[in-house]
Amino acid sequence: MMDRHELEQFIVQRYQDDEQSMIAIFAQWCINHSLDPLELYARAYPQQAGNAALKLAIEQAVSSEMSEPISAEIVQAVLSMFDNEELAYVVYEEAGKIKAK
């Protein structure tokens, strides 16, 4: 049985792991569609410079040929779960451009 401190640590760790997964999904979707994840992020959050977690996710991403398809709807839903509504909207805009091609 976990004590209160261990439980709090567990919850924080799970949140951080889930947040990193969200960032990885966003980065991979961008790469799959030949988009720059850093540019999209900067468009959504111009006041935030240099996101280390996003840079790491980009480094760990695979080529679009090696990746499973990721729908824009999934990316938007995952971003929204973490209150990244601005970034979800940028993904929505880009997905519309992709569909229009």
What gap in Å lies between CA 28 and CA 67, rounded to an integer?
A: 8
Q: Give tens-digit pLDDT for 74-101.
A: 999 999 999 999 999 999 999 999 999 7
Q: Is 89 exposed, middle or buried (0-12, 13-18, 19+ CB in 10 A)?
A: middle
Q: Give tens-digit pLDDT for 50-62.
A: 789 999 999 999 9
To the nearest 10°, report the CA torsion of 53, 96, 76, 70: -70
Angle at 35 between CA 29 and CA 38, to 5 degrees: 90
User: Long-range contact list for 76-79, CB < 8 A, 24+ apart?
Assistant: 78/21, 78/22, 78/25, 78/26, 79/22, 79/26
Q: Give tens-digit pLDDT for 10-20.
A: 888 998 889 99
Residue 67 has pLDDT above 80, yes or no: yes
